[in-house]
Structure 1
Amino acid sequence: MYSLFNPNQMAVTPFLFFTGKGGVGKTSTACATAVALADQGKKVLLVSTDPASNLQDVLEVELTNNPKPIPSVANLSACNIDPEQAAKAYKESVVGPYRGKLPDVVLATMEEQLSGACTVEIAAFDEFSHLLADEEILAQYDHVLFDTAPTGHTLRLLQLPTAWSGFLEDSTHGASCLGPLAGLEGKKALYQKAVESLSDRDKTTLILVARPDNSSLLEADRASFELKEIGIKNQLLIVNGLLQNHQPEDAVSTAFYKRQRDAIEQTPEALKQVMAYSLPYVSYSLTGVANLRHLFSSYAIHSSEAEETGEPIDLPGLNGVIDDFSEHNTRVIFTMGKGGVGKTSVASAIAVGLSEKGHKVHLTTTDPAAHLAYTFEGSGLRDNLSISSINPEVEVARYKENVIEQAGSGMAGEELAYLKEDLESPCTEEIALFQAFAKVVEKSEEEIVVIDTAPTGHTLLLLDSTEAYHKEMSRSTGDVPDSVKKLLPRLRNPQETGVVIVTLAEATPVLEASRLEQDLKRAGIEAKWWVINQSLYATNTADAVLKGRAISEKKWIRKVDGELAEKCAIIPWLEEEKIGYDQLKEFIF
């Protein structure tokens, strides 16, 4: 299959960037690598620029934005840069000069445009550019490891000269997440040097961390391609959490093992060209230096060591969520969560459950897979359920075309190039899809509408502040369709709308889901349910490794149920993927 990743047995460049979607284990992998290098006697600095970082939880040391020695590991220092704090300063440097000169609603629009993930990322890039471009760092440390790498989108923006001009101050297309880089004036040379360091294969290695599942490997493939385009070609892939063996007599263990192998066989062809390693699926939590040191050994906790403590946790299944929505006649239901947590399956199961209760239901999803539509088509009770599949590529292309037509007329050269790259922002896709969802809801007044993937609070506030700008000014910063204007108040009405946050019982998915919930609260939306999906704790597995991991889930299940969720449900890890109407019924009955 793959060789095991072990930094003790390979040459390592001075800079290592760990990247991957939330929940793949990039923080624990980065921490274990840092500990291993430090144990070799190398001077190591570990830096996190992830706004949802759990670096201090993994190392069990309180961290700040200044390097701090890790007491239990000689030669290792770590810091937890807060990019959101840096983003606040950046935002103020852009908006501040206009205070007192423009109406408050205009300032609110500017501030919300600068509240997205891209602004946080550019502020984080500013922080670690100093580390990449400062020759004194290499003199002080043998290796600097970064937990989270910049995206190709951000790097491409930085390479466009227009990004450093005041072009966006006069832009009216309303899609920008970065705004002019006035807040980082005078740093163009520093950034250029940082980008050059990233592209130098003797200095930098990009480590793509993925789980052995389809969505995670597709994300790694996309990131690999994006960053190769920018010249960051020294890449390697780590498939993290690969179950090494299975117990044939244990159905969960066998299915878990097979599903992982099937996903690996479907690895995108381009990603297969990247040097690949694996890390084992372990039974213990990867927190604390002792456990991190175990990761690169053959150590495994036996079932006798994985002792369960505390009272058993008893939570309703997904049928509890469906009963609640049915009883209260909730008309619009959103499932939200980070990629890979199973929100599409949860949305589909909720739709089937409500249909089985006699409600007329419309399910819409961004998954264009034809087999879903084919399987849901049928007779009898299935007549209560209709499905639409929104193709993200089509919707985004249409949205970009409209923006360029309206805002890009008269632009040429660098200005047009900047506008086009600006529209590659993740927020562009979210707004485009939200507008498509809004149209579906508007056409489905007589049905319960279940929507897979919801907009973030940032997008809602951006659209809302843009609407306010319409009222205040004769010109607009964006075209807000009537369907979107109607849907915003509906989303804020708990009598009409129910939001379901889907997560896994692991650190990163829970912490990121918590941030997502706070983001929604800023927009005046309360999540009604949290659903903990794919839980090994909720199975009866006897596999020693899987049982150990099941026990480690309890901490996060208790956190969600006791601290974060108004109402909480749990779905066990299922032996087979439930696709199609009849199989989805098994989710809930």
Structure 2
Amino acid sequence: MRILLFTGKGGVGKTTAAAATALRCADEGHRTLVVSTDPAHSLADAYGLALGDQPAALTGSLWGQQLDARARMEDSWSEIRDWLLEVFAWAGVQGIEAEELAVVPGLDEVFALADLADHAESGRWDVIVVDCAPTAETLRLLSLPDVAAWYMARLFPVSRRLNRMVAPVLGRVTALPVAGDEVFGATNRVYERLQTVRGLLGDPDAASIRLVVNPERMVIAEARRTATYLALFGYGVDAVIANRLLPEAITDPWFDRWKAAHAEHLAAIHEGFAPVPVFTVELAPEEPVGLEGLRRFAAELYGDGRAADVHHRGHPMRVETVDGVHSLVLSLPFGERGELDLGRRDDELMVRVGPYRRAVVLPDSLRVRTVVGARLRDGELVVDFT
């Protein structure tokens, strides 16, 4: 079972890369499902075929689906939303304003991603290809299981016990709606669903993320940040796809500076993302849409290789021991000292890179040890214990 997630800055061609990869996997004999979790669906446009909220056959071995994220959220969030609406009504907020406040921004995309668990457990597919939302939204989706795990392990049990003690008292002295067991039960189901997805996507042999970039300075910079944040949460990038390179066949002098810039950026991509392999695709004379157009794109992208293979296996987190010093090593490609914060709280190492934070649960061998130093080393954060 393989899960391939494609993401990148908006407009770089991630949907095309995802659609072409899924078609290539199907042509190689894999039962393949390609799913769009991007709220601005364009997967159907890439194939030139109709797609809906349920898997639809595109070829003999390929199915496609554009998830209705809103419907998934209604199924999982309805009990929590109804309670929030009651709370807002008690506070004097009603109507459209209350409806909007009862939905956490981006939550619909999270529930769409959680559908991967159902697809993976169904046994119907050999390969699932996911056309994700642009990078910022994807990072929010992939980091949520870690954030939810922290909440569920520490605050959820306390909140539930406290609610059972306080609810009868509040019911006698105030009309404030108090969350019942159905709200806590719905919260727990959401958490379990997210944890299942986390387990799937955190397995480097089962799931890989592929970053799609264009040879542009800002696009590459965002991809580098994305690689850092994905590593922070333990997700593996097995390939970078450099799309829309100017072909060598273009000889018009007007393009000379563009070609030189593309060559410079491509060299930076190879150097910066090494040892992750970089696949290249030249700018086509026409838009690669439809089955044949996508097959040509995939042929240039993968050559004689197989699209579903694991092209790189990294080790986002490991423990090393040298001369009695134990070190926790976290892969943080492109991480910079100025945007890095560390803290220790009980059995956890708190790591913040830029706006993203993760509580890293320490292995048993490190929990009883003291942090004595930390440093960045060749794209890795090394934290020493003694």
Specify the TM-score bucket, using the shorter chain as the normaliser: 0.5 to 0.7
What are the equivalent positions in structure 2 for 1:189-588 lying under 5 Å apart? 189-251=192-254, 253-267=255-269, 270-297=272-299, 424=356
Against the structure 1 CA distance between its residues 92 and 208, is the aligned structure 2 distance closer, same or farther, given a 3 Å change threshold?
same
Against the structure 1 CA distance between its residues 196 and 250, is the aligned structure 2 distance closer, same or farther, given a 3 Å change threshold?
same
Distance (whole Å) between structure 1 residues aligned to residue 102 and residue 273 of structure 2:
34
Select 1:65's aligned residue among 53, 57, 60: 53
Matched, 1:111 2:100: yes
AA aligned to 1:159 is A
Q: Which residue number corresponds to residue 6 of structure 2? A: 18
Kindly state the Cα deviation for residue 41 of structure 1 after the two structures are TM-superposed: 2.2
Kindly state the Cα deviation for residue 258 of structure 1 after the two structures are TM-superposed: 2.0
Kindly state the Cα deviation for residue 125 of structure 1 after the two structures are TM-superposed: 2.5
Distance (whole Å) between structure 2 residues aligned to residue 36 and residue 197 of structure 1:
22
Q: Deviations over 1:328-376 (max 9, x none)?
A: xxxxxxxxxxxxxxxxxxxxxxxxxxxxxxxxxxxxxxxxxxxxxxxxx
Seq. identity, %? 21
Give 3-state SS (helix, strand or coil) of 1:159's partner.
Answer: helix
Distance (whole Å) between structure 2 residues aligned to residue 257 and residue 247 of structure 1:
9
- Structure 2 unaligned segments of length 5 or more: list them: 163-182, 302-337, 358-386
Matched, 1:158 2:148: yes
Distance (whole Å) between structure 1 residues aligned to residue 112 and residue 119 of structure 2:
12
CA contact (8 A) 1:16 1:206 kept: yes
AA aligned to 1:59 is Y
Q: Which residue number corresponds to residue 145 of structure 1? A: 129
Kindly state the Cα deviation for residue 148 of structure 1 after the two structures are TM-superposed: 1.1
What are the equivalent positions in structure 2 for 1:33-48 lying under 5 Å apart? 33-48=21-36
Q: Deviations over 1:236-271 (max 9, x none)?
A: 1111111231533340x3233222223234449652
Give 3-state SS (helix, strand or coil) of 1:296's partner.
Answer: helix
Q: Deviations over 1:410-466 (max 9, x none)?
A: xx989xx8xx99x749xxxxxxxxxxxxxxxxxxxxxxxxxxxxxxxxxxxxxxxxx
Give 3-state SS (helix, strand or coil) of 1:120's partner.
Answer: helix
CA contact (8 A) 2:114 2:197 kept: no
Give 3-state SS (helix, strand or coil) of 2:16's partner.
Answer: helix
Distance (whole Å) between structure 1 residues aligned to residue 214 and residue 61 of structure 2:
30
Select 2:81's aligned residue among 71, 95, 100: 95
CA contact (8 A) 2:51 2:66 kept: yes
Q: Deviations over 1:441-492 (max 9, x none)?
A: xxxxxxxxxxxxxxxxxxxxxxxxxxxxxxxxxxxxxxxxxxxxxxxxxxxx
CA contact (8 A) 1:41 1:75 kept: yes
Distance (whole Å) between structure 2 residues aligned to residue 115 and residue 43 of structure 1:
35
Against the structure 1 CA distance between its residues 278 and 182, is the aligned structure 2 distance closer, same or farther, given a 3 Å change threshold?
farther
AA aligned to 1:157 is V
Q: Which residue number corresponds to residue 43 of structure 2? A: 55
Distance (whole Å) between structure 2 residues aligned to residue 183 and residue 215 of structure 1:
41
Q: Which residue number corresponds to residue 555 of structure 1? A: none
Distance (whole Å) between structure 2 residues aligned to residue 127 and residue 40 of structure 1:
25
Distance (whole Å) between structure 1 residues aligned to residue 256 and residue 74 of structure 2:
49
Kindly state the Cα deviation for residue 17 of structure 1 after the two structures are TM-superposed: 1.0
Distance (whole Å) between structure 2 residues aligned to residue 27 and residue 224 of structure 1:
19
AA aligned to 1:116 is P
Distance (whole Å) between structure 2 residues aligned to residue 182 and residue 272 of structure 1:
45
Kindly state the Cα deviation for residue 287 of structure 1 after the two structures are TM-superposed: 1.6
Distance (whole Å) between structure 1 residues aligned to residue 125 and residue 147 of structure 2:
30
Distance (whole Å) between structure 2 residues aligned to residue 65 and residue 165 of structure 1:
35
Give 3-state SS (helix, strand or coil) of 1:28's partner.
Answer: helix
AA aligned to 1:283 is P
Distance (whole Å) between structure 2 residues aligned to residue 40 and residue 268 of structure 1:
28
Distance (whole Å) between structure 1 residues aligned to residue 190 and residue 240 of structure 2:
32
CA contact (8 A) 1:67 1:78 kept: yes
Distance (whole Å) between structure 2 residues aligned to residue 274 and residue 30 of structure 1:
18
Q: Deviations over 1:387-431 (max 9, x none)?
A: xxxxxxx9x99xxxxxxxxxxxxxx989xx8xx99x749xxxxxx
CA contact (8 A) 2:32 2:61 kept: yes
Distance (whole Å) between structure 2 residues aligned to residue 296 and residue 246 of structure 1:
20
Give 3-state SS (helix, strand or coil) of 1:295's partner.
Answer: helix
CA contact (8 A) 2:143 2:233 kept: no
Q: Which residue number corresponds to residue 60 of structure 2? A: 74
Give 3-state SS (helix, strand or coil) of 1:225's partner.
Answer: helix
AA aligned to 2:298 is F
Which deviates the most, 259-268 or 44-53?
259-268
Against the structure 1 CA distance between its residues 250 and 90, is the aligned structure 2 distance closer, same or farther, given a 3 Å change threshold?
farther
Against the structure 1 CA distance between its residues 35 and 25, is the aligned structure 2 distance closer, same or farther, given a 3 Å change threshold?
same
Kindly state the Cα deviation for residue 112 of structure 1 after the two structures are TM-superposed: 3.4
CA contact (8 A) 2:33 2:129 kept: yes
Distance (whole Å) between structure 2 residues aligned to residue 259 and residue 181 of structure 1:
55
Distance (whole Å) between structure 1 residues aligned to residue 53 and residue 42 of structure 2:
14
- Structure 1 unaligned segments of length 5 or more: list them: 1-12, 171-179, 300-393, 398-411, 426-589
Q: Deviations over 1:72-110 (max 9, x none)?
A: x22111111022343455554323114344224388368
Kindly state the Cα deviation for residue 128 of structure 1 after the two structures are TM-superposed: 2.1
Give 3-state SS (helix, strand or coil) of 1:66's partner.
Answer: coil
Give 3-state SS (helix, strand or coil) of 1:231's partner.
Answer: coil
Structure in which a larger fraction of residues adopt strand:
2
CA contact (8 A) 1:20 1:210 kept: yes
Q: TM-score, normalised by structure 1?
A: 0.43
Kindly state the Cα deviation for residue 187 of structure 1 after the two structures are TM-superposed: 4.3
Give 3-state SS (helix, strand or coil) of 2:231's partner.
Answer: helix
Kindly state the Cα deviation for residue 200 of structure 1 after the two structures are TM-superposed: 1.6
Against the structure 1 CA distance between its residues 298 and 199, is the aligned structure 2 distance closer, same or farther, given a 3 Å change threshold?
closer
CA contact (8 A) 1:221 1:268 kept: no
Against the structure 1 CA distance between its residues 98 and 229, is the aligned structure 2 distance closer, same or farther, given a 3 Å change threshold?
closer
Distance (whole Å) between structure 2 residues aligned to residue 60 and residue 289 of structure 1:
8
Q: Deviations over 1:170-189 (max 9, x none)?
A: 9xxxxxxxxx9975532434
CA contact (8 A) 2:145 2:195 kept: no
Distance (whole Å) between structure 1 residues aligned to residue 84 and residue 356 of structure 2:
27
